[in-house]
Structure 1
Amino acid sequence: MIIRDLVVTPIAFRDPPLLNADGVHEPLAMRTIVELVVDGGVIGLGEGQGGAAAAEAVASVRDAVVGLSVFDLHGIEAAVGAALGATTVRSTAVPAVSCTP
């Protein structure tokens, strides 16, 4: 399953300003929706931090990941790190996109 496209869609949605331990937050929550399109039109969806900088960072790795296998996790991690200018990349987060054949 080869990655054919990466589509980034920044969104904002209403988030009531509830009081919590950190105080009141903004009325809108910003998120970045990531669509990973592979062979056969299969689409994987992920969601991440919002805002223009986050959306631009994700979009900037498109050319680096298109053409890679979705199962080549180390290759994807290395390509993303290189595209973002990192010398080493070590993710501690749960992968946003998963695909099972």
Structure 2
Amino acid sequence: MSVVTPIAGPAAKPAVDPALKKVAQQFEAVFLRQMIGSMRQAKLADDAFGSSATDDFREMADARTADNLAAMGQFGIAQLIERQLAGKGGAK
């Protein structure tokens, strides 16, 4: 009887704590909101239709955009936070 050894393949991803993932994603969204807000402050021209209502709706749209960008995970900030908080930061 021969023993079959498994072929070494890619390492299985460790289980991710859903709460940690959610918090990391929320932090990324907050970071992106701040970044978008800073870009908005660099006004190059006066807003002809500016009002407090327009500003409020623009802020809500920016927040929604930041949430969507964070959910896509393209920036990698949430993944870095997850690794750091899970103790897998690899820092030396």
TM-score, length-scaled by structure 2: 0.28
Task: Identify, as 1 or 2, the structure richer in helix.
Answer: 2
Task: Identify, as 1 or 2, the structure richer in strand.
Answer: 1
